[in-house]
């Protein structure tokens, strides 16, 4: 499954997959298919530096539909780490994140 063109407006902000950069996703070949349980998640960054997740599904529209969810930076970092396929390295996506020793 590839990300589809989608426009979603949340709190007066427009999120567009066709204008954003794909950062990471979970659409990878697991030996059977690319769709993990009929659903995939794609992490994007807008040209203005905002993050959002696009959730897609293969389930019928009566059951579930795709959507876009805006993310705070900490949510984007967490999602980035949870997604299998990284399209852009962490330090490029999150240059201001400084990791300290625990």
* Main-chain phi, psi angles of 89, to 5 degrees: -60, 150
Question: pLDDT at position 38, please?
Answer: 72
Query: Cα–chain-centroid distance for residue 86?
Result: 10
pLDDT in tens, the chain (102 residues): 678 888 989 999 999 999 999 999 988 666 565 555 678 899 999 999 999 999 988 765 655 678 899 999 999 999 999 998 999 999 999 998 887 777
Question: pLDDT at position 34, please?
Answer: 56
Question: pLDDT at position 23, please?
Answer: 97
For the chain, which residues make up each domain, given as ranges?
7-88
Closest CA to 53 of 35, 66, 64, 65: 66
Question: pLDDT at position 17, please?
Answer: 95
Instruction: Kindly report the pTM of this predicted structure.
Output: 0.82
Distance CA 77, CA 6 (A): 22
Between CA 83 and CA 90, with CA 84 as vertex, the angle to 5 degrees is 70
């Amino acid at each position: 499954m590839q990300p589809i063109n989608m426009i979603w407006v949340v709190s007066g902000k427009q999120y567009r997959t066709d204008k954003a950069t794909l950062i990471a996703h979970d659409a990878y070949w697991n030996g059977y298919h690319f769709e993990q349980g009929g659903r995939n998640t794609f992490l994007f960054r807008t040209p203005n530096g905002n993050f959002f997740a696009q959730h897609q599904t293969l389930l019928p529209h009566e059951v579930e539909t795709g959507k876009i969810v805006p993310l705070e930076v900490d949510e984007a970092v967490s999602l980035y780490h949870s997604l299998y396929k990284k399209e852009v390295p962490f330090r490029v996506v999150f240059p201001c994140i400084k990791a300290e020793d625990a």
